[in-house]
Structure formats: C-alpha cells, structure tokens
Copies of this chain bind each other. A is one copy, B any other.
Amino acid sequence: GWAKIDHHRSIRKGIPEAIYGEGKGAEQIVKIAQKMSESGHPILVTRVCPQKASEILKKAPFLEYNSDARLLHSPISPPNNSDKKVITVPVITAGTSDIPVAEEAAITLELNGIRAKRIFDCGVAGIHRLFDHIDVIQKAPVIIVVAGMDGVLPGLIAGIAPCPVIGVPTSIGYGANFKGVAPLLTMLNTCSQGLCVVNIDNGFGAACVAALICSRIKEFNP
C-alpha cells in the first residue's frame, strides 16, 4: 500500500524507475521488487549492502547482486555484438578506490543496453597512464569520469575530449576532503568546457544522464 511505483516512468523517460535501497528493509524491497517484476519492469535497487542483498535474494531469486556496485538488478542481457547500434561509453576512474562507484555506473549503463568500457586507475599523479587510452576518449559519445581525493581527472579529460564529460565525485579521501566535497568543488569549478557533475558517489545518476544522451543520439531528428 505505502509504495507507489512509477510504472509510467519507462514510457515517459525511456529509463525505468530505480529503488533507492539505503533506508529500506529487506522485506520492503522484496515487496516492491515483486510488484515491479509482476508487471514486467526491469528492476534496479541501488545502495544495497551485501547482508541485506543475501536476505533479499532468498525471496527474490529472479534478481542478481553485484557486490562491487552494491546493486540488485534483473539479469543483464549482453548486447548483441553484431548489433551496430550498440553504443559504447567509457567509464574512467582516477584510482582503484573509485571502482565501486564506477561499477554502479557501468552496470546501470548495461541495464539500459549500452556497452560500458571500463578504464580504471588513471589518476593525474601519473598522467601518462591516461594517454594510452586517448583513442577511446576521442571517439566516445559521452564519457563518465569518476574521481575522489582532488577530483582533477574529469576536468583534464574534458580538456581533450570532443564530447560531453559527466564527472562523478567520490567520497574517497580524508581530512580536508570532507567526504567528497573537495572533488565536487574541483569539478564544479573546472576551467574545461563540456564538464557537468552529479552528486557525490552517484554513479547511477551519471549513467542515467549518459543513457539519455545515447538515446538522443540514436533517436533525435532535428
């Protein structure tokens, strides 16, 4: 009774509703998932810790859990590789500690039928590691860049990429990092053109923006 699922969303936006898992109990999530599943909706629950996930999986075996990304989701059908229309979006991280947030983004992309190209651990303290991937950067429709600590990488990539870049600050860091505020501010104040930002640790949100850009690339007729 209490949960009002927005079934209409996938029609309206092309992206189905996701469930914010953090504040909810296992039982509550199971009920919502069952309801959505019955009406044939793809399911995505964000920010689910391993323990809660295993409780849920017992009662909702039609779901899968990705512990890196802390996501519970419907099975992902791998994109048909011969399908020319499958778009590939690079998901780049500055450090290895940023990988969980990047995985949240990558899997959300895959749930939306987009191929995610993972490029991890390319931070500016050894910037030559990024240059191996210059080709991917120059051919992308949009790039998701995930960075904690100083948050420098997204602006750097926006300085060379000919496409929009979505920066995701992470809460990785200590001291004057303030749980991700430092990289958030770095990104908001970028001097590079073409960088926009989502909330700290919001890999899901970045993937939604990227998915909508991809859908416009495919479907928009001026």
- List residues of chain A with CB under 8 Å of any chain B CB: 2-4, 6, 8-9, 12-15, 17-18, 20, 22-24, 28, 32, 47, 84-88, 94-97, 99, 118, 120-129, 141-142, 149-152, 155-156, 159-164, 166, 169, 171-202, 205-206, 208-209, 212-213, 215-218, 220, 222
Contacts and interface: CB of A to CB of B under 8 A. Distances in A.
19 contacts: A6-B126, A9-B125, A15-B193, A20-B191, A47-B174, A123-B191, A124-B156, A125-B159, A125-B193, A127-B159, A150-B187, A152-B186, A175-B200, A177-B189, A177-B199, A190-B205, A194-B209, A196-B205, A217-B222
Contact of A186 (B3, B94, B121, B182): B182
Copies in the complex: 8
B182 A195 contact: no
